[in-house]
A and B are shown apart, each in its own frame.
Chain A
């Protein structure tokens, strides 16, 4: 089955030349074929054989893949320069060429139309402000959440309605998965080796949504066709079935946003919160006359913990606070968990129901946006 030399496709097999190279995919240090990684491999045209081989080489996430044949990779590139690099990707600092991104996008099950979103997301992740090395190698369960704004998201079928965090929607599932495969195979962040997440998270399989711009009372999070990457935990649910006012809903959101066990607040300067309002919560808040800036200000002012509580555990003693916060001695003082209202991002997504979500960040990464170039 694993014959890393010549093609021997069977019958009508389409797997005669999976376009893979040891420098493109996998980490030779941890692959089954560490001593003989070819530019191409040949496998029987059997889905189970393909999956077994890719799993053995640690070239996938454990789920079935679409074999990245030369033809499919070429289609994914759609004429783009395959050798063009977006930069070196940590933690192993391999070059993120468009060809490598395309190989992983094919494997994830993407349509070629999704590729511009992936390219924009990788550009954003490689911005130093995102600190991809920290995101990749940390013990925290952070995963890059892709938030896609603009008409192009609708064109390619990115879902923003009921169940937008999944499952069920190909564009969301496969774009998010392609990002993870790129982080595994190009970046080299294999769990337990270079991805040191203590437990990881389901969000590390796929984490991609669009915004419900049609349901937002305040317009989109970002104007135009834009991808924002946010180094976040999985979504924390906010259930509020009773509040009929902005104040009621936002108090519930603020309470959900902070806890002793969160990273947010301890590394203060880069702490950020993403509030994903369900459309019904958003409408109730807006009906009371609040703007997006008002929501940001409210959460900033109310998502706080008393000093006495913060002293009980978490990261007390190894936290990184500004001097003005260190100077506080009153145990009842309510301390902010993010530096400013601008570090509270507010967007709208989801379907009917009285639920929203809070996504705390990992606190050593800042959200970055990049335009989608089609």
Chain B
């Protein structure tokens, strides 16, 4: 599983292809992370948790 922000999604996809792991699950949260206040970071954490739970088959 690879976790990143929207701005780096393209890099992540290219990197997975270059390394031959295109099937790796990708979890994407809103950009940016740096310079954000705690409530905004909490929203991103929830975004990540929801996607991760879905990917591992739990809701």
Contacts and interface: CB of A to CB of B under 8 A. Distances in A.
Interface in A206-261: none
A211 to B, nearest CB: 36
B47 interface: no
B11 A196 contact: yes
Contact of A92 (B8, B18, B34): B18
Interface in A162-193: 188, 193
Contacts of A94: 18
Interface string B1-45: 000000110110011001100000000000000100000000000
A193 B14 CA distance: 9
Contacts of A327: none
Contact of B10 (A92, A193, A318): A193
Contacts of A137: 11
Contacts of A196: 7-8, 11
A198 B8 CA distance: 12
Q: Is the interface of A mostly helix, strand, loop or mixed?
A: loop
A194 B34 contact: no
Contacts of B18: 91-94, 188
Interface residues of B, number: 9
Q: Is the interface of B mostly helix, strand, loop or mixed?
A: helix
Contacts, number: 25
A188 B15 CA distance: 10
Nearest to A317: B34
A155 B19 CA distance: 41
A91 B8 contact: no
Nearest to A190: B14
A137 B11 CA distance: 8
A29 interface: yes
A128 to B, nearest CB: 16
Nearest to A94: B18
Contacts of A92: 14-15, 18
Contact of A93 (B8, B11, B19): B19
Contacts of B15: 91-92, 194
A196 B10 CA distance: 10
Nearest to B8: A196
A237 to B, nearest CB: 28
B14 A29 contact: yes
Nearest to B13: A29
19 contacts: A29-B14, A91-B11, A91-B18, A92-B15, A92-B18, A93-B18, A93-B19, A94-B18, A188-B14, A188-B18, A193-B11, A193-B14, A194-B10, A194-B11, A194-B14, A194-B15, A196-B7, A196-B8, A318-B34
Which are the 7 A-B pairs with shortest beta-carbon distances?
A: A93-B18, A92-B18, A194-B11, A193-B10, A194-B14, A91-B15, A137-B11
Interface of A: 29, 91-94, 137, 188, 193-194, 196, 318
Given A92-B14, A92-B15, A193-B10, 18 more contacts: A91-B11, A91-B15, A91-B18, A92-B18, A93-B18, A93-B19, A94-B18, A188-B14, A188-B18, A193-B11, A193-B14, A194-B10, A194-B14, A194-B15, A196-B7, A196-B8, A196-B11, A318-B34
